[in-house]
Amino acid sequence: MIGLVIVSHSATLAEGVCELARQASRGQVPIAAAGGIADPENPIGTDAFRVLQAIEAVDTGEGVLVLMDLGSAVLSAETALDLIDAARRPRVVLCPAPLVEGAVAAASLAAAGAAMAEIAREARQALAGKLAQLDQGGEPAPAPSLADAGQGGEGPCQEATVTIPNRLGLHARPAAQLVRLARHFSARVTLENLSRDSAPAAADSINAILSLGARQGHRLRIRAHGAAAPEALAALAHFLESGSGEMEKAAPELPGGRPQSPAPPSPRQLSGIPAAAGIAIGPLLKLRSAAPLAPRAGGDPEEERQRLRTAIEAAQAETRTLYEWSQAHLGADAAGVFDAQLLFLEDPGLLAAIERRLAVERAGAEIAWQAETTAFAGRLGALDDPYLSARAADVTDVAERVLRRLTGQTGAA
């Protein structure tokens, strides 16, 4: 299991953060404090040898994440890293996360058995929830660490800037294709929407990519680290610059060469995907999902985690069937929404956030799942692009498939 070391100028503060992290992990994670210095007259400071001893105490062979409070704490941690033997050094990661929030997030994920790269990334982003709750949305969330240990975390940064040419931008279908393409490479890749001044989004997260709100004409910066960074950068840049496979479907042009935008539906007009050929006339029946049952109270986090895993696997099987049917009968465009839904169900950022709720809040699987998926659908629905904001309904649709299985429901009413 990944170990944690808390480095602070104050021994009392370091011990307090460790105590909080131990509670978050229910004592399952090895955690050590390296706070203050051995000078009764002036105890405030940091000691590289204390950091070294703490690292050695919690290193089980799987890695150690080190979190620090202020400037010289970073220097002491770096010095300790220089003193570690060469065999152990690659397993130790110095993480620039907020000390308290980062420690709680890291301990929760470490207890759940997450890998170092995911733990370090989530620790860095631990302030995002507080920023959103206190209405600081204009302040960008911490960028994912491109120097985190794990797959794709090494090597110099490679970057490229591209402009989105396709009419509908980076909507569900091309976003899903981009995520699958990014996962082919041993590289850590992020994208930023320079036209909206967005925070970096991990290229392996369908939620993060859709949240960029990338529209036609927007400029995206792609950054890649890792052994395959040049290959990943070239492939993703080509994919985006070529129109994400949609340029052959250009919109009809008006006189003068301007592309004709599709007319928005009138209030009395409905749009959708036909399930069968032909025309039917009769009363309109609006299909509504059955109201969710009252959420079950939280229990053992591992039990709730297993219940959620089983429900997600069942929803994945159903979504895969819908994808295959749509591809066979309606074509790749119509099937693209189900491909994006499949990626949503395995999104690492979403699953990590739910894991935190199960471990820290001891919430039931229903509560944790509904809270996180509703929050993401809300962020997607708030995008200023009507086409992208409409994808919130796709998120709600697939989220309800999971919720129905968690609550024992089998269909809609």
Least confident of 58-67, 191-200, 230-239: 191-200
Mean pLDDT of the chain: 79
Compute the distance between CA of residue 386 and CA of residue 337 in angstroms, rounded to an integer. Answer: 16
The more confident residue out of 22 and 148 is 22
Distance of CA 100 to the CA centre of its chain: 21
Q: Which amino acid is at 75?
A: L
Compute the distance between CA of residue 40 and CA of residue 154 in angstroms, rounded to an integer. Answer: 41
Give pLDDT, residue 131. 67
Beta pairing partners, 33: 6
The more confident residue out of 7 and 249 is 7
10: pLDDT strictly greater than 70: yes
401: pLDDT strictly greater than 60: yes
Percent of the chain with pLDDT over 70: 80
173: pLDDT strictly greater than 80: no
Compute the distance between CA of residue 148 and CA of residue 160 in angstroms, rounded to an integer. Answer: 21
Cα torsion 89, 95, 100, 101 to 10°: value is -130
Quick one: which of 384, 394, 400, 385 has its CA closest to 206?
A: 394
Give pLDDT, residue 298. 64
Compute the distance between CA of residue 41 and CA of residue 380 in angstroms, rounded to an integer. Answer: 55
For range 154-163, the mean pLDDT: 80
For range 176-186, the mean pLDDT: 86
Please state the pTM of the whole predicted model.
Answer: 0.47
Give pLDDT, residue 343. 84
- DSSP, residue by residue, 337-357: HHHHHHHHHT-HHHHHHHHHI
- CA distance from start to end of the chain: 45
Give pLDDT, residue 153. 45
Give pLDDT, residue 267. 52
Least confident of 2-6, 213-217, 327-331: 327-331
The more confident residue out of 285 and 135 is 285
Give pLDDT, residue 105. 85
32: pLDDT strictly greater than 90: yes
Quick one: which of 354, 353, 343 has its CA closest to 305?
A: 354
12: pLDDT strictly greater than 80: yes
Quick one: which of 54, 44, 97 has its CA closest to 74?
A: 97
The per-residue pLDDT for range 69-124, each reduced to its tens digit, is: 987 899 899 999 888 888 888 999 999 889 998 998 888 888 878 888 888 888 88
4: confidence class by pLDDT, cuts 50, 70, 90:
very high
Q: At what angle do helices 348-356 and 365-381 cross, to 10 degrees?
A: 130
Give pLDDT, residue 250. 43
Joined tokens for residue 134: 């206190």
41: confidence class by pLDDT, cuts 50, 70, 90:
confident
The per-residue pLDDT for range 321-353, each reduced to its tens digit, is: 988 888 888 777 777 788 888 888 888 878 888
